[in-house]
A = this chain, B = another copy of it.
Amino acid sequence: MAFIRHIRACNTHDATAFLPFAVNGRPVGHVRPAFADRVAGLSDAFRLTGGAAPLLDLLPPDPARRSQAVAEVVAALAAEGMVPPLRGEDFPVLARWGQPELLKIDRAAVPGFGVRGFGLHVNGYVPGPDGRIEMWVGRRARDRGVAPGKLDNMVAGGQPAGLSLAENLVKEAHEEAGLDPSLARAAEPVGAITYIFDTVAGLRRDTLFCYDLALSRDVIPRNTDGEVEAFELWPLARVADSVRTTDDWKFNVNLVVIDFLIRHGQLSPDHEPDYMDLVTGLRAVD
């Protein structure tokens, strides 16, 4: 069993099975042909061009009208079962991170349009006096739709439209771990991981911003929103062994933890033969 298998599992997709989804001619996502056909059939706000390089283009010139057109189409698609039940949480559609929002879209439809979804994960850990680290591990509640019973980061969540990452982190840290804002604001941004895989719902293109939060031993996380059943403090070597040898962790959390293990010296390029494939594989570029 090797760490690299988790990265491979998060990076399986057939690029030829998708057409570009564009906003005013600028590609921002990827759609299956049948999905594109149905979208174009439902709304005049979209144009599906054929020929050798087909493209689904969203036509309205401003974010508000684009968001409105997409919301109407997505509601119809959800009613037909072509997108999962709506989440009631809007995600931003961006050409790339740091650029203006082109439109908002319900979280449930993000894979259908194959636009990049953003999230944040917080590695909560307790540094020891001898340099040894312990990490807070959450066990997801058994009644969750996604990854029930799997191990998770202390705090994690999707990045909705209209919040900064820092604001979202404070909100999620309260909901998921009961942390005061003053504690949550001590989390430091330490990079990001990306991966791409296809599902029946479409193409998942995720960017997870990673944060490290060093906590003193007397801070005990408490879940407040029912997503986490229990938190445990594990020595980092146990975390590493568990990720390497089991499938106990939520699929994408494996990648966040591998990134943490690399950044904190837990893996050695002298001894881990996949070291470079791990370092580069955590940041798939499409």
By a beta-carbon cutoff of 8 Å, the part of chain A in contact with chain B is 96-99, 164-166, 188-192, 194, 207, 209, 212, 262-265, 267-270, 272-277, 279-280, 283, 285
Contacts and interface: CB of A to CB of B under 8 A. Distances in A.
A21 B67 CA distance: 51
Contacts of A191: 262-263, 279
A192 B275 contact: yes
19 contacts: A96-B277, A97-B275, A97-B276, A98-B269, A98-B273, A98-B276, A165-B270, A166-B268, A188-B264, A189-B270, A190-B264, A191-B262, A191-B263, A192-B269, A194-B280, A209-B269, A263-B263, A280-B283, A283-B283
B97 A270 contact: no
Contacts of A194: 276, 280
A6 to B, nearest CB: 17
Contacts of A192: 269, 275-276, 279
Nearest to A187: B265
A98 B275 contact: yes
Nearest to A265: B188
Contacts of A209: 269
B276 A189 contact: no
Given A270-B165, A283-B283, A190 B265 contact: yes
A36 B188 CA distance: 49
A186 B139 CA distance: 33
B274 A283 contact: no
Contact of A285 (B262, B263, B272, B280): B280
Given A270-B166, A285-B280, A262 B190 contact: yes
Given A280-B283, A283-B280, A283-B283, A190 B272 contact: no
Given A190-B262, A276-B207, A165 B269 contact: yes
A266 to B, nearest CB: 9
Contact of A265 (B97, B164, B189): B189
